[in-house]
Amino acid sequence: MVRYDLSKGHMHACRQSFMKGIQQWGRGLEKRDITSNINFFMNVPITPEGGLTFADGVSDAGKYVELRAEMDVLMVISNCPQLNNPCNGYNPTPVRILIWDTNV
């Protein structure tokens, strides 16, 4: 929270955004129904002592992650910009999502 401004603590957690989203969706889902979030593009190197550090991101335009679901899933996606993060010049960029249905 120090890195991103203590006064904006309510903006720091993607998981809280996910909780708000499933509550608004109104299908009876609760916190226990969602797993931990995954951040594919944040750069958090592990030090030789086992600690975590924050470094500038290493993803460039055009980078992608491909996932395959072996069963029906509900996926929640959030582009959670940290407003005080110098990454991308304080200008978070949009994400593009493509979904293929291989059962067609």
pLDDT tens digits, 69-99: 888 888 877 766 565 566 666 666 777 888 8
Q: pLDDT tens for residues 26-59?
A: 888 888 888 877 777 778 888 999 988 877 777 7
Can you give the pLDDT at residue 22?
A: 85
Both structure tokens of 103: 């059962």
Cα separation, 10 vs 12, in Å, equals 6
Can you give the pLDDT at residue 50?
A: 92
Can you give the pLDDT at residue 6?
A: 62
Backbone dihedral angles phi then psi of residue 49, each to the nearest 5 degrees: -85, -5
Domain that holds residue 17: 1-104
Cα separation, 4 vs 11, in Å, equals 9
Contact 77, 17 (CB under 8 A): no
Count of structural domains, the chain = 1
Cα of first residue to Cα of last residue in the chain, in angstroms, is: 46
Both structure tokens of 81: 């910009």
